[in-house]
Amino acid sequence: MDIALDLGSANSRVRISPDENAIDEPSVIAYNTEDNEILAYGRDAYMMLGRTSAKIKVVFPLEGGVIAESGLVEEMVNIFLCEVCTSRVVMPRVVACIPGEITEVEKRAVVGAISSFGVRRVLLIEAAKAAAFGTGLDIMGPHGVMVVDLGAGTVDAAVMSLGGVSVSKTLKQAGNVMDGEIIKYIRKRHNLVIGKAMAKACKEAVACVIPFKEERKFRVKGRDAVRGLPRAIEVTSTEIMQAIKDIAMNIVNMITDVLEDTPPELLADIHSDGVTLTGGLSQLHGLRELLEKQTGIRFHVAKDPQDSVVKGCFRATKYIEEAEAQRTSLNPLMTVY
């Protein structure tokens, strides 16, 4: 049995068939601080954010695309794999994605968390490479392909050819950092304290990097920073654009840096074919247009961008035998563990 695993900072996805995800849950764990008992995970734990008692803690155990709390990630991976592995007679092989710029220690942490379930093999693939597979792009030929995966924890941009990465960069300023900037802005401008879930809902509803044709508004609820009482206000899309504009420009500058470092022959291919955007943040209003304006290159958002990485991980399972036998140097998968 081969399993594709996308351990994202905001959402984790598991796929065991080419057509649909077996699991698509927020990467959240709720546990009792007194005895470390896991109380909830996924959507159930996400609903508990900011609503727990003192002895219950709700955390995102992955930050910036890497493991922040290894014990909780192991628990979460074990829960997810138990749901899809109904039989333990045959140990599964797992293909998991990682950010492009990651240390060997961080790689080992990912492998260790997955191996704790008792899998036969763990194979890693860069997130941008998996996203390219997931969108149906051919990265095995001598033709330049560029993909930018915009997630919650990281933005991964990579230029690929002949099954490998020619140029890549990872920016640890993505959707979660935007949520944090929205929280700071609303507190500073309106003296209102809001939580992560409210900030994320606000971002999804009205965030933009180029103004909407008609101003949009969103009602945020929180605690008055002065009086300590509940209060609700309406914020506009223009306000939220001001809050996240610096992060958006950092993303644009990082993508521009990758293009500047790309060899001329590959850059010519990218200029002809354009750049593919994947990940949930790729749907941010105006981001595609801003990138095209700044670079002069055509960008397009993949179909079902949030599923591109896990879909690509599953498609990469066909290279497992070659990776195990080390029969080809063009294998897109990384070291076998």
Cβ 100 vs Cβ 316: under 8 Å? no
What stretches in the chain show pLDDT beneath 50? none
52-87 pLDDT, tens digit each: 888 999 999 988 878 888 889 999 999 998 888 876
- Distances from the Cα of 140 to the Cαs of 143, 145, 160, 162, 270, in angstroms? 8, 10, 8, 4, 15
Say if strands 145-150 and 275-278 run parallel, antiparallel, or are unpaired: parallel
End-to-end CA distance of the chain: 16
For residue 181, the model assigns a pLDDT of 96
Q: What are phi and psi of 327, to 5 degrees?
A: -85, -20
For residue 68, the model assigns a pLDDT of 87
Q: What is the DSSP string of 124-165?
A: EEEHHHHHHHHTT---SSSS-EEEEEE-SS-EEEEEEETTEE
Domains of the chain (ranges; CATH) run 2-131+310-325 (3.30.420.40), 140-173+244-305 (3.30.420.40), 177-238 (3.90.640.10)
Cβ 210 vs Cβ 244: under 8 Å? no
d(CA 136, CA 152): 23
For residue 66, the model assigns a pLDDT of 83
d(CA 332, CA 125): 7
319-335 pLDDT, tens digit each: 888 877 765 567 777 76
For residue 282, the model assigns a pLDDT of 94
Q: What is the chain's Cα-based Rg?
A: 21
pTM of the model: 0.89
